[in-house]
Amino acid sequence: MNNEHECHHHHDNTPHTHEHYHDGIAHTHTHVHDDDRHHTHEMLDGDESKEEKTLKILLSHWVEHNKSHEEGFAEWVEKAKNMGKVETSQFIEKAIDFMKQADNMLEEAEKHME
């Protein structure tokens, strides 16, 4: 994976190492700046593996998190109906359907991580 980002300091175009962040995670890479003070670098295998593990955990967590909300939403569908708020209950049901679709997409994404 190539990552490019603006660098706001000067170096003499020699290889050097410094720490910076990608998605909130600190990384140290050796690279050379070009004349425009930009640089590119390859992510280290260890960093990719760490990010892959994090993404797998997040995908699973997001599905479980959504499902916990779906249960609460379903409870309020019935309550809204009992209040005579039929349209409200219908929109909550649609929201549940969309969340289930999102769950399916996240589960598919998780399958493609293997």
Instruction: Let me know the angle formed at the C-alpha of 40 by 37 and 43, rounded to the nearest 5 degrees.
Output: 145
Mean pLDDT of the chain, nearest integer = 76
Pick from 19-23, 53-57, 102-106 the range whose average pLDDT is largest: 102-106
43 DSSP 8-state letter: P
Residue with the bigger pLDDT between 11 and 53: it is: 53
Structural tokens at position 96? 């549940």
Residue-level pLDDT at 86? 98
pLDDT band (50, 70, 90) for residue 41: very low
pTM for the full model?
Answer: 0.54
What's the Cα-to-Cα distance from 81 to each of 5, 75, 78, 100, rounded to whole Å?
53, 10, 5, 21
Q: Report d(CA 78, CA 18) in Å as an integer.
A: 57
